[in-house]
Amino acid sequence: MSAKVIDGKMFAERLAGRLKAALSDFSAQVGRKPGLAVVLAGCDPASEIYVRSKVGMAGELGMASIEHLLSADIGQKELLRLIAQLNDDDAVDGILVQLPLPKHIEEAAIISAIDPDKDVDGLHPQSSGKLVSGIAGPVSCTPLGCLMLLKSELGSLAGLDAIVIGRSILVGKPMALLLLNENCTVTIAHSRTRDLADKVRRADIVVAASGQAEMIRETWIKPGATVIDVGTTRVVRDGKKRLLGDVHFGSALTVAGAITPVPGGVGPMTIMTLMHNTLLLAFRRCGLPAPALW
């Protein structure tokens, strides 16, 4: 038995086609492109790569992107003033503040200052509250991309046992809530979970977001389970730089029913769901019915 490899890049390309059609419709009705503002403070190399990818994809799809590249020593008050300006700018439909921020800036204060109607990353407390309540609103991009892949692969998720390994505000917590809203029975595991391997073996769906490279091996996985690997750890092996997931991909292939690779699985979906969220916010802000995109 060899698991099906879930091609996140292919799914993202199909979603991009639907987004382009909806973008054209929006521009025809409103007379402008949807606008995404991206704020980067400092020069973290990984963050710079992510921002370039996001801005590049926005341009490729036909969105307007506004970059604010700030020095690492920017003050919190100055950053809050910029957020206030973007909140008031009618050409901006989505605001993304790239995390992590410099250590002297309180991330929670910056996230909370974003207009909830422009919260493209779904991290504002109001967005989180909507997710808890099952109310439509922006959802954190990586978990939303994982859900898209799961539903594309499995259809209805109702009644399935799912485990989410990791409890971050970016992935673990919103992922668990999304699965609950799909009527899964959900376990949230973390660094202090006892008998983690045993709990993973019971799950029909495994979402791995622990940040520990290749922690999950084939002996942990229920035969036929669907495995979504969110992990991205950069290592050097045999003199070559490699990107590893939380799951040992080679061994998991022999047990799982379907699995995402790293890279090429969740990564392409994260950027595309950011575009998806921006477009939906643009439609809502303009009082237009949001299109069904997936």
Please tell me the distance from the alpha carbon of residue 155 to that of residue 144, in angstroms, as a whole number.
Answer: 15
Residue 254 in tokens: 């022999």
Using an 8 Å Cβ cutoff, are 26 and 282 in contact?
yes
- Confidence check: pLDDT of 82 > 90: yes
Per-residue buried b or exposed e for 143-163, using 16+ beta carbons within 10 Å of the residue's own CB: bbbbbbbbeebeeebeebbbb
Please tell me the distance from the alpha carbon of residue 115 to that of residue 82, in angstroms, as a whole number.
Answer: 12
Class of domain 141-268: alpha beta
HEC string for 30-58: HCCCCEEEEEEECCCHHHHHHHHHHHHHH
Catalytic residue chosen out of the listed positions 98, 119, 229, 246: 98
Distances (CA, A) of 278 to 26, 173, 271: 12, 22, 11
CATH number 3.40.50.10860 given to 28-115: yes
- DSSP H or E segment with residue 206: strand 205-208
pLDDT tens digits along 104-159: 999 999 999 999 999 999 999 999 999 999 898 899 999 999 999 999 999 999 99
Residue 51: its pLDDT value, please? Answer: 87
Using an 8 Å Cβ cutoff, are 76 and 106 in contact?
yes
Please tell me the distance from the alpha carbon of residue 271 to that of residue 154, in angstroms, as a whole number.
Answer: 22
Catalytic residue chosen out of the listed positions 54, 118, 173, 222: 54
CA dihedral angle for residue 131, residue 156, residue 262, residue 56, rounded to 10 degrees: -60
Instruction: Supply the mean pLDDT for the chain.
Output: 95
Q: Amino acid identity, residue 290?
A: A
Check if 4 is active-site. Answer: no
Residue 45: its pLDDT value, please? Answer: 79
Using an 8 Å Cβ cutoff, are 139 and 277 in contact?
yes
Q: Is 292 exposed, middle or buried (0-12, 13-18, 19+ CB in 10 A)?
A: exposed
- Confidence check: pLDDT of 1 > 70: no
**Which residue ranges make up each domain of the chain?**
28-115, 141-268
Residue 238: its pLDDT value, please? Answer: 81
Residue 287 in tokens: 């009082």
Please tell me the distance from the alpha carbon of residue 36 to that of residue 66, in angstroms, as a whole number.
Answer: 6
CA distance between the termini of the chain: 30
Using an 8 Å Cβ cutoff, are 162 and 144 in contact?
no
- Confidence check: pLDDT of 65 > 80: yes
Catalytic residue chosen out of the listed positions 121, 204, 229, 246: 121
Average pLDDT over residues 53-62: 93
- Confidence check: pLDDT of 46 > 80: no
pTM of this structure: 0.94
Check if 54 is active-site. Answer: yes
pLDDT tens digits along 195-225: 999 999 999 999 999 999 999 999 999 999 9
* SS3 call for 143: helix
CB contact set of 56 (below 8 Å; sequence gap of 6+): none
- Confidence check: pLDDT of 237 > 90: no
Using an 8 Å Cβ cutoff, are 214 and 246 in contact?
yes
